[in-house]
Chains A and B, each alone.
Chain A
Amino acid sequence: MIIHTLFFYLFSAITIASGLMVVSARNPVHSVLFLILAFFNAAGLFVLLGAEFLAMLLVVVYVGAVAVLFLFVVMMLDVDFVELRQGFLQYLPVGALVGIVLLAELLIGLSGWTFAPEAIATATSPIPNPAEVSNTAAIGHLLYTHYIFFFQVAGFVLLVAMIGAIVLTLRHKPNVKRQVIADQVSRSQKVDMHAVKPGQGV
């Protein structure tokens, strides 16, 4: 158990420190890299909790895909972050207020289980015993039976967002040569290979 605790403090300390660095680093690329470090350590915390499926999902989705696109955009944008930072003190009270509200909600929401353990029984769907079923199976069971409607609707919303982004950005300019593979393949006069005899030509 002692190693477990040590790793908990290691992961959480790095998560918090890299979270701080995300907002305080001067270079935006460094910020994104620290964000990735924070994701990574959050995944470590999930592993310590025994939620290995969520940990891997966090790495695959957030670190492997979302953060790559972040990094992509941040590297290509030429943003003067020193200028952006000038309003820092002005926005501090609003930012602090949002942060405090979020923290309070998390505390109220999550500490309820500690103060009143019977609250777990009021959950809309039963929480399976982790010893009996692997957490991949447990999540799949919950998601595809109890919450199938919400799951499908969430997927549909994402699909609509994706189609929206494509509609907004796709432009077919005239006079642009495009490769049409079907035309090339179905062309009647094919490029042939001939065995050319020396001195005679094709």
Chain B
Amino acid sequence: MNGFVDSYLIPGAILIGQSLLVLVLLLVSIAFILLADRKIWAAVQMRRGPNVVGPFGLLQSFADLLKFVFKEPVIPSSSNKGIFLLAPLVTVTLALAGWAVIPFNAGWVIANINVGILYLLAISSLGVYGIIMGGWASNSKYPFLSSLRAAAQMVSYEVSIGFVLVGVLLCVGSLNISDVVLSQQTGLGTKLGLPGSFLDWHFVPLFPLFIIFFISALAETNRPPFDLVEAESELVAGFMSEYGSTPYMMFMLGEYASICLMCAMTTILFLGGWLPPFNFVPFTWVPGIIWFVLKALLCFFMFAMVKAFVPRYRYDQLMRLGWKVFLPISLGMVVVVAAVLQIMGWAP
């Protein structure tokens, strides 16, 4: 019995506690990130943005939460009710599940698994199910068209994301996410005589892959300019047209959780995760988690700016970009990176 308590109960309780902590912090940050998104968008368009609820509108997201929760969920009578309600749950669960393998600092990770990168790829490729199920179950034309678009779009951009990951993993030599960050302690900066600096991070030698990953992440999370899934001038509100109240809020929550996940992934793969930008004193005093959050917020700022100043793509342009531009470039980069690593003898 003692063995059971020691080997299952206590680790289980610790795991649940860690997961709850990450979940609560994540949800609170998403509330403010959503506000930041609206504020940045407003600032670019010279508007004020939400500024009524709380100081500077800081509590706007919480007011929205209450508004959605207290509304009546309307389920269309001809919809497929089970799947209709399952779709937002799937979206939000998958978007939050990805955070299980994200290391926030050295050793600060819920599940330090050996195939962390593949797990993230798997989770992000499942995200399309929430959209397809929601669009189909609504039993309405616009949501259905939107979900077909979503399926094609997300499957297309996953291919280039996959090749970008291969390119990064060639330089790392491990599928473990913490190893990906730790491998960025040495690199170009070390060779240039600035060890442990931001020049060591992957975004310098793998700059084309960094750009491709960022744009593919926009497409994968259906952010503008690739938000054809919910293009309001063509498809009403896309797959969310028939949704209201709490299910709608869960779609929004899932969307923003996966956006944050993509920002965290960009940080880990290319921007050195929790590593400080310089390896000397004022920078090394700052705890790793602060660097991690700052870098992820920088990525999110770029996400928000792109939303504000890039017009929406046309569907055929989107497909052309994915298959005819990103796929050949990322595939070529994989070959180039592998060749360089092999010839120079840098392969890990």
A, B from the same assembly: yes
Say yes or no: A75 contacts B136, CB within 8 Å. yes
B334 at the interface (CB under 8 A from A): no
Minimum Cβ distance to chain B for residue A113 (Å): 25
Say yes or no: B133 contacts A33, CB within 8 Å. yes
Give chain A residues whose Cβ lies under 8 Å from the Cβ of B133: 33
Docked Cα-Cα span, A18 to B2, in Å, equals 37
Give chain B residues whose Cβ lies under 8 Å from the Cβ of A60: 118, 121-122, 125
Binds B, one of A50-58, A103-111, A152-160: A50-58
Say yes or no: B316 contacts A179, CB within 8 Å. yes
Docked Cα-Cα span, A76 to B149, in Å, equals 13
Say yes or no: B128 contacts A68, CB within 8 Å. yes
Give chain B residues whose Cβ lies under 8 Å from the Cβ of A36: 129
Say yes or no: B125 contacts A65, CB within 8 Å. yes
A48 at the interface (CB under 8 A from B): no
Docked Cα-Cα span, A33 to B134, in Å, equals 13
B26 at the interface (CB under 8 A from A): no
B158 at the interface (CB under 8 A from A): yes
Give chain A residues whose Cβ lies under 8 Å from the Cβ of B114: 52, 134, 136
Docked Cα-Cα span, A134 to B176, in Å, equals 11
Say yes or no: B122 contacts A59, CB within 8 Å. yes
Minimum Cβ distance to chain B for residue A35 (Å): 12
Docked Cα-Cα span, A41 to B155, in Å, equals 22
A29 at the interface (CB under 8 A from B): yes
A63 at the interface (CB under 8 A from B): yes
Say yes or no: A56 contacts B125, CB within 8 Å. no
B132 at the interface (CB under 8 A from A): yes
Give chain A residues whose Cβ lies under 8 Å from the Cβ of B316: 179
A101 at the interface (CB under 8 A from B): no
A71 at the interface (CB under 8 A from B): yes
B237 at the interface (CB under 8 A from A): no
Docked Cα-Cα span, A27 to B83, in Å, equals 12
Say yes or no: B151 contacts A68, CB within 8 Å. yes
How many A-B pairs have beta carbons closer than 8 Å: the answer is 65
Give chain A residues whose Cβ lies under 8 Å from the Cβ of B248: none
Main secondary structure of the interface of A (DSSP, over half): helix
Residue of A nearest to B82 (CB): A30
Docked Cα-Cα span, A3 to B4, in Å, equals 10
- Chain A interface bracket (under 10, 10 to 19, 20 to 34, 35 or more): 20 to 34
A64 at the interface (CB under 8 A from B): yes
Give chain B residues whose Cβ lies under 8 Å from the Cβ of A57: 118
Instruction: Give the contacting residue for A33; candidates B83, B119, B144, B155; CB below 8 A.
Output: B83
Residue of A nearest to B147 (CB): A75
Docked Cα-Cα span, A76 to B317, in Å, equals 24
Give chain A residues whose Cβ lies under 8 Å from the Cβ of B158: 64-65
Q: Which residues of chain B from 239 to 287 have any CB-CB distance to chain A below 8 Å in the complex?
A: none
A3-B8, A68-B128, A71-B132 as given contacts; A56 in contact with B151, CB under 8 Å: no
B306 at the interface (CB under 8 A from A): no
A72 at the interface (CB under 8 A from B): yes
Say yes or no: A59 contacts B136, CB within 8 Å. no
Minimum Cβ distance to chain A for residue B44 (Å): 20
Minimum Cβ distance to chain B for residue A4 (Å): 11
Give chain B residues whose Cβ lies under 8 Å from the Cβ of A3: 8
Minimum Cβ distance to chain B for residue A73 (Å): 11
Residue of A nearest to B118 (CB): A56
Say yes or no: B136 contacts A56, CB within 8 Å. no
Say yes or no: A64 contacts B118, CB within 8 Å. no
Q: Which residues of chain A from 1 to 59 have any CB-CB distance to chain B below 8 Å in the complex?
A: 2-3, 27, 29-30, 33, 36, 52-53, 56-57, 59
B148 at the interface (CB under 8 A from A): yes
Docked Cα-Cα span, A3 to B15, in Å, equals 15
Closest 5 CB pairs of A and B: A64-B125, A56-B118, A59-B122, A60-B122, A56-B115
List, sorted by A's number, 9 A–B pairs whose CB atoms are closer than 8 Å: A57-B118, A59-B122, A64-B128, A65-B155, A68-B132, A69-B155, A71-B132, A75-B144, A136-B175
Beyond contacts A52-B115, A53-B115, A56-B115: 16 other A-B pairs, Cβ-Cβ < 8 A, are: A2-B4, A29-B83, A33-B83, A36-B129, A52-B114, A53-B175, A56-B121, A59-B122, A59-B126, A64-B126, A68-B151, A71-B129, A72-B148, A75-B144, A75-B148, A136-B115
